[in-house]
Structure 1
């Protein structure tokens, strides 16, 4: 993977949600190695649902892009325990997937049992994600937690070092998160029913 090439592209995926809504906003931002953003894509996922993987795959396929080198997710568990599976995203798109998180965790099993009692499918989906691996990010001088599919950890490290400019969050995810928040705020104000927010 030629990370050093200016045209190396990452599809950064982040979301914004409110628990009182039925839908979250997912934003995908195509970030180039030379710092240009050359694509923005949007989708919805169900808050508390199990359609995050489908939403991300569908967003990528609808983009009709053939120049994406890696998909980067701002967390595998989004939109109130809606689980995005990096392995399934990789299998269905053919694009390597890096999923990041930033905090220590003892696991989410107890929270899934609390908020979704008896939801065996959700529990199995979470457990199938496997363990996270610590990766040191030189520009941030800190570690992040990584789950990855279709890509070796040394490549993950190189990509994170190239895409991280300030703080822990890589630029593709930082921009995607800002887009998701802005779109969600607009819909909350102008068309809350589109998000399934009770009037």
Structure 2
């Protein structure tokens, strides 16, 4: 699928999470709809199970809650989030018909052994989804930082162009940076001890 990068107000839905293992069974998901001129014109929240298998369905629910047809791509802060909850990029693409781009920022030596160690009952399904997402491609963004992309529904060159369009500084594109800040703030608020005013 071709992305119309020349259009000033192209929009992406950037998705990120925040969780603290041992404190809550659920992770907070946040989605930010951002135009390529960095105007934010949508925010959506969701949740997924820490260590679960539900993050893909949660992302789809968030997308549907927005109920809009002007989003051009999904941008996700990692394919393995909330402690090995695996994002299924192929399912996202099938269900939304939007290019799905997963970003990570550091090299990885592989996760199969961790899936097997921590999830003996369903490790093979997690590995299947993970591997069907395709290989990570190492690229260099416009700021000179190495990042790693997995893409479905678009080629790596177009995905990198989109990532660069939304990156002001460093490695992290603005929709993901903002989504991560929102998710973290909500999680911290939820973890605060509740007090009752007298």
Residue 133 of structure 1 aligns with which residue?
A: 137
Q: Deviations over 1:112-153 (max 9, x none)?
A: 111112423223222322310112211x21221111011112
1:24-173 counterparts in 2 under 5 A?
A: 24-119=27-122, 120-138=124-142, 140-173=143-176
- Measured in 2, the distance between the counterparts of 1:19 and 1:143 equals 28
Aligned length: 190
Q: How well do the aligned residues superpose, as a CA RMSD in angstroms?
A: 1.2
* Length-normalised TM-score, structure 2: 0.92
Is 1:11 matched with 2:38?
A: no
Is 1:186 matched with 2:189?
A: yes
* Length-normalised TM-score, structure 1: 0.91
- Measured in 2, the distance between the counterparts of 1:121 and 1:34 equals 39
- Measured in 1, the distance between the counterparts of 2:140 and 2:166 equals 13
SS of 1:31 mapped into structure 2: strand
Q: Which moved more, 1:125-134 or 1:59-68?
A: 125-134
Alpha-carbon contact 1:142-1:168 (below 8 Å) kept? yes
5+ residue gaps, structure 1: 192-199
5+ residue gaps, structure 2: none
Segments ≥4 residues shifted beyond 3 Å: none
